[in-house]
Chain A
Amino acid sequence: MRGTLWIVLGLFPLVDGHPTLKTNQNSLETADAALNHQSGSLNSVLHLDDTEKAALEPTRVDPAFPMKELNTSHYPATRAARVAQHYLNYHHGSPSKWFMVHDIKKASSEDIPEVGTKYHVQFSVQEQATKEIVGNCTAEILFRQTEEQSAPEVNCTCDDLLKIETSDADHALYHHIKHQPEPMTGMDIPDSQGNIPKEMEPFWYLGGIGASFIMWQQSNESTLYNMVHVHSVKQLNSENDLLAFDYVVLLHDMVSQEIIHWHMQVAWNPTQGVKVTQCHLLPKGTMKQPSAEKHKI
């Protein structure tokens, strides 16, 4: 039997002496389980041989793999940083916390023969609710050269990420939802005028965080994803202490300009964070498209 080594990247603190992201054992297990449930091409579970393991180690200068400095305005850096953003959101986002890349400070890439291209990006992010800027994030993003789509492998740390404190807001929201008589539903977030009712905002964020998982998984060097619309959200029954929601979200890929519909189920509670428990791509034409006149909340 071939031994398999399962590594889920980025859930372990980077070993460099800086205080970094805390992860707890529960979160690792749930994430592991969630990732195992993924359908189709969602593949972030790795079988590594020695060359590959070497490629993923923290960067050492190796003349065999020269580093190329990248222009921070140009698309290779933009796309790599976006992947790091999706990764960061999935692992640290919540209905009260959603990050967007603010400024790319430095970027470089190295081609690793027979493996792929690894990007190194330094950037700042802005949290959308608090508007706070987290100045110093570093990420390594490896895009493997595979025939089929495979999720980029990401190591990402930010100094001071924990200064964005949303625990109270998250707990308040959790209890609020738990105590509603009816399961919540929503459609068309935002509406055509770009409006989002205040009470829908957390569900928009939650959709964005869940979508970040999909966007991370679906990214490669030729994509640049954003979530542009929550078509629908519906609270599901959940037996445990996780809240569960059924979403249909619209993703926009800037490179192909396509709008892609994904159906996903998202589980959340304030301590365990956000997990995508199921997702699948909806074929084009399945969903009635959002339009200006219909589906007002």
Chain B
Amino acid sequence: MPLLFRDQVLRIKAENAEQISILQSLETQEHLQLDFWLHPANPELPVDIRVPFSNVQAVKVLLESNNIQYSVLIDDVQAVLDEEQQELEVNQGRERLTKSFNFAAYHKLETIYEWMDTLVAQYPNLVSKINIGSTYEGRPMYVLKFSTGGNNRPAIWIDTGIHSREWVTQATGVWTANKIATEYGSDSSITTLLNSMDVFLLILANPDGYAFTHSNNRMWRKTRSKTSGSCIGVDPNRNWDAGFSGPGASNYACSDSYHGPFAESEVEVKNIVNFIKQHGQIKSFISVHSYSQLLMVPYGYTCNKPADYQELENVGKSAASALKSLYGTSYQVGNICDIIYPASGGSIDWSYNYGIKYSFAFELRDTGRYGFILPANQIIPTAQETWLALMHIMQYVQAHPY
């Protein structure tokens, strides 16, 4: 039997000095085994006593016969303790999970989803999880929202993992979510940012693809949608409504850069588009890919420069400088079409044309030694240096409202 099973805590309101002295004499009655949580001192203050179950009736009779007012504060101390203990264990479990989560390893989809829940549970006043819709195979697409309040504040959008084989990006997304949640309040730049802006982070932008890279093919890039014929999947970064089916995208279903039957045919893309449009206050749109160490701005579907090119290039160059300051990692900066290749139907071309001026695409480490299969011991350094670039961009966006 648990020690304090059905013990009660009584709160006593003594009216005068005489009642106080009665209560004080009770303290000397050792056989009653009374545990005074608040000792009798003067009539202004309540007296709280934990009374063992076996003596509850006797103590109550004693109080009543002396006209001493009391109420039952806790009618089963053990029950309260049990609940508390449970909560404590759950919190410790969550803390263990978030503290023991290995950021320097690549994790399966289910593990990342579980971890997201623990993060939300641990920082409920800062982090929430939004289901922006299902994938082709029926998996939820979860966006983490970081917000300190307000009503639909201007916001930053970051997505990682739209190409499922680019594993360092999802891992960077996880690390970044943790960074924001754990350092809000202590890191001044995060705190300042979240004072007036929200951050939306889609860690797994292509969950079906990610699951497939674990179960079947580490090099899978596309979605897993079945269109016609025997080949599966559409390149989700050729499927946006920006120069759709133009240069740099294939109309062959078996190609790794297949643009799909029509723009936004992929539900994963459509879900993001719907969310962005519905929100209406996204001020920056950042898509994270790997590999090549590039920080790019629109456009990919044409080599003509966007109207804001100079500003975007400047922001990009400073962000790349900040990134480089940590470990010396060099990034090239420029428009997609000139830096890497013409590529139509890309996400940041769409977001820029939609009106989100500060649209950027990252290609993270490395430059080809390991490529997609970047050693897990580079996840944290990559995330740390990328954070500096992201922070630079976010601070710039906050300082340049439009």
Interface residues of A (CB under 8 A from B): 71, 73-75, 100-101, 103, 128, 190-196, 226, 228-229, 250, 252, 254-259, 284, 289-293
Contacts and interface: CB of A to CB of B under 8 A. Distances in A.
B213 interface: yes
5 contacts: A75-B338, A75-B340, A290-B217, A292-B214, A292-B215
Contacts of B371: 226, 228, 252
B374 A75 contact: no
Interface stretch (B51-59, B112-120, B249-257): B249-257
B13 interface: no
Given A73-B333, A226-B368, A257 B340 contact: no
Interface in B219-274: 219-221, 235, 250, 254-257
A255 B217 contact: no
Contacts of B339: 73-75
A289 B373 contact: no
A195 B377 CA distance: 9
B217 A192 contact: no
B216 A291 contact: yes
A104 to B, nearest CB: 10
Contact of A293 (B106, B215, B374): B215
B375 A190 contact: yes
Main SS at interface, chain B: loop
B341 to A, nearest CB: 5
B287 to A, nearest CB: 15
B330 to A, nearest CB: 8
Given A226-B371, A292-B106, 6 more contacts: A71-B338, A73-B333, A73-B338, A74-B338, A256-B250, A289-B220
Contact of A100 (B217, B333, B368, B373): B368
A257 B257 contact: yes
B341 A195 contact: no
A30 B250 CA distance: 41
A258 B218 contact: no
Contacts of A75: 338-341
Interface in B129-170: none
B367 to A, nearest CB: 7
A100 B341 CA distance: 21
B334 interface: yes
Nearest to B338: A74
A229 B217 CA distance: 12
B219 A100 contact: no
B372 interface: yes
B376 A289 contact: no
Contacts of A284: 254
Contacts of B367: 100-101
Contact of A258 (B255, B332, B341, B375): B255
Contacts of A128: 369
A284 B219 CA distance: 13
Per CB-CB distance, the 7 closest pairs between chain A and chain B, nearest first, are A194-B375, A289-B217, A226-B368, A228-B371, A257-B256, A73-B332, A193-B376
Interface of B: 105-106, 213-221, 235, 250, 254-257, 292, 330, 332-334, 338-341, 367-378
Contacts of B377: 194
Contacts of B217: 289-291
Contacts of B215: 291-293
B218 A193 contact: no
A255 B375 CA distance: 23
A87 B253 CA distance: 33
A222 to B, nearest CB: 9
A194 B376 contact: yes
Name the residue in B250, B371, B377 with the highest tally of chain A Cβ atoms < 10 Å from its Cβ: B371
A229 B219 contact: yes
Contacts of B220: 289
Nearest to B230: A285
Which of B106, B216, B221, B255 neighbours the largest number of chain A CB atoms within 10 Å of its CB?
B216
A193 B254 contact: no
A194 B370 contact: yes
Nearest to B165: A259
Contacts of A226: 368, 371
A192 B218 contact: yes
B375 A228 contact: no
A138 to B, nearest CB: 21
Contacts of A228: 219, 370-373
A5 to B, nearest CB: 36
B106 to A, nearest CB: 6
A101 B372 CA distance: 18
Given A73-B339, A192-B106, A289 B221 contact: no
Candidate in B341, B373, B377 with the most chain A CB atoms within 10 angstroms: B373
A190 B106 CA distance: 14
Nearest to A292: B214
A257 B373 CA distance: 15
A71 B254 CA distance: 34
Given A100-B368, A228-B372, A259-B256, A193 B106 contact: yes
Contacts of B340: 75, 254
A293 B219 CA distance: 13
Given A194-B374, A195-B375, A195-B376, A292 B254 contact: no
Nearest to B248: A255
Contacts of B235: 257
